[in-house]
């Protein structure tokens, strides 16, 4: 399939698909005219990349672990280098900090809503 079809199937703009290629996350075939050609596995890969990005992982980390994620989201122990382990530990710490910050913000918003709703007259 061409980039437009992959974009339509995954909901990811073609511009982002080209960016994923630049970041070495996607590796489309090229036809004789130079057009990108994607297979079914690429659609799944794009969905996986989106999920990892939405979880807060950087493209650097995704590029390093993506080859090991073909059988689900796990990294075989024999493939885990000390460098990759340190990178993942730092990323887990960063995600924990983000979760803490988001939780504090959520709690503050809920307290604000409770306070405002408690001070407004009831609507009929």
Q: Could you report the per-residue pLDDT of 12-63, keeping only the tens digit for each?
A: 999 999 999 999 999 999 999 999 999 999 999 999 999 889 888 889 889 9
The model carries a pTM of 0.66
**Whole-angstrom distance, CA of residue 69 vs CA of residue 63:** 11
Report pLDDT for 74. Answer: 60
Burial pattern 55-72, b for ≥16 Cβ within 10 A else e, equals: eebebebbebbbeeeeee
Please answer whether residues 63 and 25 qualify as being in contact, where contact means their C-beta atoms are separated by less than 8 angstroms.
yes
Q: What radius of gyration, in Å, describes the C-alpha atoms of the chain? A: 21
In the prediction, which pLDDT does 75 show? 59
* Domain 1-73 sits in CATH 1.10.1660.10: yes
Q: Which of 54, 55, 76 is nearest to 67 (CA)?
A: 76
Q: Residue 18's pLDDT is what? A: 96
């Amino acid at each position: 399939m061409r980039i437009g079809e992959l974009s339509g199937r995954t909901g990811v703009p073609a511009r982002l698909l080209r960016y994923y290629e630049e970041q070495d996350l996607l590796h489309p075939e090229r036809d004789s005219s130079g057009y990108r050609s994607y297979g079914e596995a690429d659609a799944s890969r794009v969905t996986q990349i989106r999920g990892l990005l939405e979880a807060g992982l950087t493209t650097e980390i995704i590029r390093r672990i993506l080859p090991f994620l073909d059988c689900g989201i796990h990294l075989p122990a024999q493939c885990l280098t000390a460098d990759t382990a340190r990178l993942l530990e730092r990323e887990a710490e960063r995600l924990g900090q983000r979760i803490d910050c988001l939780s504090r913000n959520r709690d503050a918003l809920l307290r604000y809503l409770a306070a405002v709703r408690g001070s407004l007259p009831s609507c009929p």
